[in-house]
Structure 1
Amino acid sequence: MSAGRPGRGLVLTVAVVTVLAAAPAAPASVALPEPRERSAAGLLAELRRLYRETEAATEAYNATEERLTEQRAEVRRLDRRLSDARLSLRDSRGAVGRLARQQYQSRSDLSPYLRLLLARDPHRALDQAHVIRRVSRERAGTVRRLAGSERRADALARAARRALDERLSLTARRGRERDVVRERLRGVEELLASIGDDQLRRISELERERTAGAQRRLLASGALGGVRPPTEDGAAALGYAVEQIGKPYEWGAEGPDAYDCSGLTSRAWARAGRPVPRTSQEQWKRLPRVPLGRLRPGDLVVYFPRATHVAVYLGAGLVVHAPRPGAAVKVSPIAANPVLGAVRPDPEGRPLTRYTPVRLPEGASAGADEGYGSAVAPGGGPGAGADR
């Protein structure tokens, strides 16, 4: 191409620019449509992210709800103690008032020494002096009790005020966290509404394929070890969890009609006589850890880096859990979600010498773990009312 002559590419560029300039401009308020075709893998990744964020928000709500329950009990306890202290203070003030009246009525300008010298019977006077000293000590004790009652009442009043302020703060925080859960669920619902049936089927197939692959790799690695029997309490907790199969997931729910993930595990172990923390994070934080190779039925399997999901180990590489909104309590492969680790609520328990594996109801594994259905909890979810 010689210098000074426009090349073919430049001519084409000028022509395109000319045509675009002549075309009418699109209104500024009209947004360009998003691409209609999105990959199933991308949609699956987005759904998993939204569900994970929803579950994290749910567990934060559950933790605040548990703390609020404890704080309500603390407020009631302090109120009862303050009421008792005020009754004691009233009694002390009455005793001091009577003491003041008695002192006024028995008032004398003579000192105890002069009264002793003027007494007709000094021995009797000495006895009276002893009684007077004892009465004086009792009067001093009455005054001290009054001062102590006042201090206790003041301290309890301050503690009750702080406890009430904390309860109000927790109530406000619970409301904010409830709103975050609802916002996350709306995000899931909006994404699901934008996905066609064919794509949704492909997403479900893709997740099942990924779960099956992760399960095969985990079992092939030998990380789960051999078969181990549960303890008596572990068998009871697992039995309760299995009885809940088919009941819907509902965020913040602890049964008996619906559950979220940690609502199921905490209720199962409570029914076994071993209360555990309410949330998956606290279960992971406070319960003794156990290697996957030593898992036994009833142990709790915790998922995701932030411990935002939890399930009851069934045995044979399976768990019972409440998966996600739109799904129901079911049996799933242990690798249905990324495993963080496992904890054992009864580390000192002795494994049963005879154990018959729990019998699963028909369709225990039916239904997709992903719960790609209605994401909104009935009635707007728990905690919709005012502080109670």
Structure 2
Amino acid sequence: MATGKRGLITAALTVVCAVTVLSAPGTAFAAPAPTPDPSPSASATRPAPATNKELEAVRQRLEELYHDAAVATDAYNAAEEKADQQSAQLVALAKKITAGRERLAELKDRMGAAAAAQYRTGGLPPEAQLALSDDPSEFLDGTGRIRQGERATGHVLTEITRTQQDLEQYAKDASAQWRKLEANRKARAAARQRINQRITEAEELEKQLEKEEKERLARLERQAAQKAQTAWLGTGVLDGSTAGASEQGKKAVEFAAAQQGKPYVWGAEGPDSFDCSGLTSQAWASAGRTIPRTSQQQWAQLPHVDVADMRPGDLVVYFEDASHVGMYIGDGMIVHAPRPGRTVTVAGAGSMPILGVVRPDA
């Protein structure tokens, strides 16, 4: 059935896997040969529908592609957040450099004024001024002022040296921050390319399916999620769980639930679209608490709680690499932004592999 639907699905999976390798930077490959026109007898034959086994293979491949896109999205978001911090540090350093230059100019003006004053007195040493003075007491008063001036000049010289050293250090720090900012720019660009590539591959794979096959694929996805949810609840992990949400948790849940129907867009933090961690971070921001931007940072930096003890408002983190996150809303359910092509929705908390639970307001 190489010319039937089954062959198309198999070929599509093969092409998607091949594109993953061929699209790596620096890889060159020849243009594909033109596809020969099908014979009249072949084109007249209606392609056979994909089997459930083939659709299951498509479903698993789509999961892999969208998971890879989610990992790249987290990397992009982290680089974006870091770049914002580095930009702010560069601005602060620029202000310090400007202030330091102004201070250095002021100090040099003071030194110039002191030199001019010495020139006006003829630049004579104190001993010569004593010999030429008609009034020794006036000379002694002048000597005291000279010594004060010398001490003041010494202080100015010391401050000039220190200011120059500070300026040199600020310049080095600014140069280091600029290099970090440039590295982050490249990291964001690489992550963006990987995200778009994976999403495009997934969309191309889905395009190979007929309407009826897409409906069956959606049913397979729902069945897989329901099977996982049932198995998770069957462990009794939530038996006897009665923990209620905190006041902030209630506000966060209300915000997240109100976003249902809005599309998933990678890197988005609202108000019209969200990615998974954009939804959870903005929900908690609406409740008055700032949390890390990405799912991996949320997992790494927020306090962990046992799954059995989770309460509405807690964040459920998924997969071993913490690449997805949703907000627990109670009764074994979460609200989350699933993936490209989907909208913010409610799902079973156990419908995906749970890594753990974190509590923003612990």
Asked if Structure 1 and Structure 2 have the same fold, meaning a TM-score greater than 0.5 normalized by the shorter chain, the answer is: yes
1:328 paired with 2:323, answer no
Aligned to 1:143: 157
Matched residues in 1 for 2:266 and 2:353: separation? 21
Which ranges in structure 2 are unaligned for 5 or more consecutive residues? 1-31, 39-47
Which ranges in structure 1 are unaligned for 5 or more consecutive residues? 1-27, 348-388
Matches within 5 A, 1:134-173: 134-173=148-187
79, 88, 96: which one aligns with 2:111: 96
Aligned to 1:175: 189
**Cα-to-partner distance string for 1:86-139 (whole Å, 9 max, x where unaligned):** 111111121122222222222344x43454466555444333322221111111
1:193 paired with 2:215, answer no
Paired residue type of 2:199: L
- Contact 1:92-1:149 within 8 A present in 2 as well: no
Normalized per residue, which structure has more helix?
2
Where 2:350 maps in the other structure, the secondary structure is helix
The structure with more radius of gyration: 1
1:260 paired with 2:275, answer yes
Residue 194 of structure 1 and its aligned partner are, at CA, apart by: 1.2
**Cα-to-partner distance string for 1:317-367 (whole Å, 9 max, x where unaligned):** 0001001111111111102211111101111xxxxxxxxxxxxxxxxxxxx
- Contact 2:227-2:351 within 8 A present in 1 as well: no
Paired residue type of 2:303: P
Paired residue type of 1:231: S
Matches within 5 A, 1:262-301: 262-301=277-316
Matched residues in 2 for 1:213 and 1:295: separation? 22
Matches within 5 A, 1:377-388: none
Paired residue type of 1:73: A
Matched residues in 2 for 1:29 and 1:265: separation? 47
Paired residue type of 1:54: A
Aligned to 1:15: none
Residue 199 of structure 1 and its aligned partner are, at CA, apart by: 2.4
98, 101, 106: which one aligns with 2:121: 106
Residue 300 of structure 1 and its aligned partner are, at CA, apart by: 0.4
Paired residue type of 1:344: R
Paired residue type of 1:105: R
Matches within 5 A, 1:368-383: none
- Rate the CA distance shift 1:291–1:262 in 2: closer, same or farther, 3 A: same
Matched residues in 1 for 2:299 and 2:354: separation? 12
Matches within 5 A, 1:1-388: 37=50, 39-109=54-124, 111-113=125-127, 115-116=129-130, 119-225=133-239, 226-347=241-362
Where has structure 1 moved over 6 Å in runs of 4 or more?
A: 30-33
Query: Which of 233-242 and 126-135 deviates more?
Result: 126-135
Aligned to 1:355: none
**Cα-to-partner distance string for 1:137-171 (whole Å, 9 max, x where unaligned):** 11111111211221122221222222223222222
Matched residues in 1 for 2:242 and 2:346: separation? 18
Residue 63 of structure 1 and its aligned partner are, at CA, apart by: 0.8
Identity of aligned residues (%): 37
Matched residues in 2 for 1:99 and 1:166: separation? 44
- Contact 1:96-1:146 within 8 A present in 2 as well: no
**Cα-to-partner distance string for 1:27-71 (whole Å, 9 max, x where unaligned):** x957899x9846222111111111111111111111111111111
Residue 314 of structure 1 and its aligned partner are, at CA, apart by: 0.3
Where 1:252 maps in the other structure, the secondary structure is coil
Where 1:140 maps in the other structure, the secondary structure is helix
Q: TM-score, normalised by structure 2?
A: 0.82
- Contact 1:89-1:153 within 8 A present in 2 as well: no
Paired residue type of 2:202: V
Residue 82 of structure 1 and its aligned partner are, at CA, apart by: 1.2
Paired residue type of 2:126: P
Matched residues in 2 for 1:121 and 1:100: separation? 25
**Cα-to-partner distance string for 1:186-216 (whole Å, 9 max, x where unaligned):** 1101110112223222222222122212212
- Contact 1:254-1:264 within 8 A present in 2 as well: yes
**Cα-to-partner distance string for 1:8-45 (whole Å, 9 max, x where unaligned):** xxxxxxxxxxxxxxxxxxxx957899x98462221111
Number of equivalences: 318
**Cα-Cα RMSD:** 2.2
Q: TM-score, normalised by structure 1?
A: 0.77
Where 1:335 maps in the other structure, the secondary structure is coil
Paired residue type of 1:202: R
